[in-house]
């Protein structure tokens, strides 16, 4: 199984969706991100590996917060880096200033890189004569990694966000 996969689809409101599913078999863990249009992603799965990872594209509609009667037409669903442009009213998660003036950025994803990075060493432990015996695996550890580049062209602010799922 590939440790990281990308899927494309469309939300019920017509928004194009890109989903990235990452799995770490050594930890029996997985996560999935969905990118609505060019917005920053939302986590739609975090837990055990899925038997049908292609279904994560449908979780965007299933998990989207419903409109509350008498409230706004759009119920906020924060991204991985919520900002005021997403109607985030919680504690600051991103604070950037220019000449002492706070900028309220609206990031648009310009690049999504989903890959398995081979780096570092994997150690295995066996027992020899009643004592632990450590050895280094011949293959480097495989880490599914998602790297996103996003920018607010109007404010001239660019960011890179990386998410890795290692065996720990």
40: which DSSP letter?
P
Confidence band, pLDDT 50/70/90 cuts, at residue 142: confident
Spatial distance between the Cα atoms of 84 and 14, rounded to a whole number of angstroms: 24
For the residues of 128-139, what is the DSSP string, one character each? ETTEEEEEEEEE
What's the structural domain count of the chain?
A: 1
Q: What is the radius of gyration, based on Cα positions, of the chain?
A: 20
- Enter the pTM of the model: 0.80
Once rounded to an integer, what is the mean pLDDT over residues 57-73?
Answer: 75
Domain with 9 in it: 4-164
Q: What is the pLDDT of residues 149-165, one digit of tens each?
A: 999 999 999 999 999 88
85: which DSSP letter?
G
The 3 state secondary structure assigned to 89-116 is CCCCCCCCEECCEECCCCCEEEEEEEEE
Q: What is the pLDDT of residues 94-114, one digit of tens each?
A: 888 899 998 888 999 999 999
Contact 102, 95 (CB under 8 A): yes
């Amino acid at each position: 199984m590939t440790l990281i996969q990308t899927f494309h689809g469309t939300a019920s409101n017509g928004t194009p969706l890109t989903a990235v599913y990452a799995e770490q078999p050594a930890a029996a863990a997985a996560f999935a991100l969905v990118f609505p249009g060019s917005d920053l992603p939302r986590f739609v799965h975090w837990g055990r590996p899925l038997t049908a990872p292609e279904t994560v594209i449908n979780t965007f509609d299933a998990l989207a917060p419903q409109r509350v009667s008498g409230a706004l037409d759009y119920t906020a669903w924060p991204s991985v880096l919520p900002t005021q442009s997403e109607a985030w009213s919680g504690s600051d998660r991103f604070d950037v200033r220019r000449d002492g003036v706070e900028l309220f950025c609206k990031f648009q994803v310009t690049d999504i890189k989903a890959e398995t990075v081979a780096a570092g060493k994997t150690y295995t432990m066996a027992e020899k004569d009643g004592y632990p015996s450590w050895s280094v695996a011949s293959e480097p550890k495989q880490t599914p990694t998602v790297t996103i580049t996003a920018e607010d062209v109007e404010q001239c602010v660019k960011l890179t966000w990386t998410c890795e799922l290692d065996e720990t």
